[in-house]
């Protein structure tokens, strides 16, 4: 990344983009955000004032990129599964009974408490979302999801891995899953990376496409 700033411009950036997170975990997330941005040229930063979750955007000859922090990305994306959107199973089993539990919960919650039970089966908010738009496409053609865990505990890191896999499997663009059924967690349209502090016995890559990065590791272009 090239930084050609004069003293006046540098002073203005420091005054308007200084970040002072309230939690150390947020600072650790931003550390990885900027490590990713270091992989690209001509990055245009956005003001981190709490009014927007867009951190930066940039363009290449063929594509446009937008990076979000602590966000579900653009309005085209959805990290949410609703009861009304799923095909209800007909055979007995865990999923069949789960649907019946949620149906009955909605009914009884309304009867007992005069409130409408939520329709959500699953929902999440990734730490990092990078979207790539090719040509004039209105929807992302590829999405990178980063899950950050500020931890040295392998069990907590493994929890983050599960969250990452859920984000990758369930993400939708314009209402449709981004990954085809035959390519769930193995497609090139949706990729992911788990970022941690230092976890004992951790390796950077397995046979899976999922990559693990620990504090201080190098980061290559995710998309």
pLDDT of residue 4: 45
Note the pLDDT tens digit of each residue in 133-153. Answer: 999 999 999 999 999 999 999
C-alpha to C-alpha distance for 43 and 25, rounded to whole angstroms: 24
With contact defined as beta carbons under 8 Å apart, do 131 and 74 qualify? Answer: yes
Note the pLDDT tens digit of each residue in 197-212. Answer: 988 765 655 556 688 9
Tokens of 94: 């865990």
The alpha carbon of residue 29 and the mean position of all alpha carbons in its chain are separated, in whole angstroms, by: 12
Instruction: List all residues 6 or more positions away from 200 whose beta carbon is below 8 Å from its beta carbon.
Output: 152, 154
With contact defined as beta carbons under 8 Å apart, do 179 and 169 qualify? Answer: yes
pLDDT bucket at 66, cuts 50 / 70 / 90: very high
What's the start-to-end Cα distance of the chain, in Å? 16
Shortest CA distance to 29 belongs to which of 78, 73, 76, 71?
71
C-alpha to C-alpha distance for 191 and 210, rounded to whole angstroms: 7
Note the pLDDT tens digit of each residue in 7-17. Answer: 455 445 444 55
pTM for this structure? 0.83
Phi/psi at 111 (5° precision): -70, -45
């Amino acid at each position: 990344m090239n930084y050609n700033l004069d003293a006046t411009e540098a002073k203005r950036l420091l005054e308007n983009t200084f970040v002072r997170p309230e939690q150390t975990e947020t600072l650790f997330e931003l550390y990885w955000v900027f490590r990713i941005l270091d992989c690209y040229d001509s990055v245009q930063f956005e003001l981190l004032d709490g009014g927007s979750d867009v951190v930066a955007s940039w363009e290449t000859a063929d594509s446009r990129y937008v990076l979000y922090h602590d966000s579900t990305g653009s309005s085209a994306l959805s990290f949410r599964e609703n009861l009304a959107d799923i095909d209800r199973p007909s055979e007995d089993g865990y999923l069949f009974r789960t649907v019946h539990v949620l149906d009955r919960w909605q009914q009884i919650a309304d009867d007992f408490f005069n409130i409408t039970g939520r329709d959500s089966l699953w929902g999440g908010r990734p730490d990092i979302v990078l979207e790539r738009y090719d040509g004039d496409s209105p929807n992302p053609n590829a999405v990178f999801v980063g899950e950050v865990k500020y931890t040295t505990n392998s069990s907590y890191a493994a929890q983050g891995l599960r969250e990452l896999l859920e984000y990758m499997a369930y993400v939708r663009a314009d209402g449709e899953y981004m990954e085809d059924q035959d390519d769930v967690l193995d497609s090139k349209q949706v990729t992911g990376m788990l970022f941690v502090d230092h976890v004992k016995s951790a390796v950077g890559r397995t046979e899976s496409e999922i990559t693990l990065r620990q504090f201080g590791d190098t980061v290559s272009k995710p998309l």
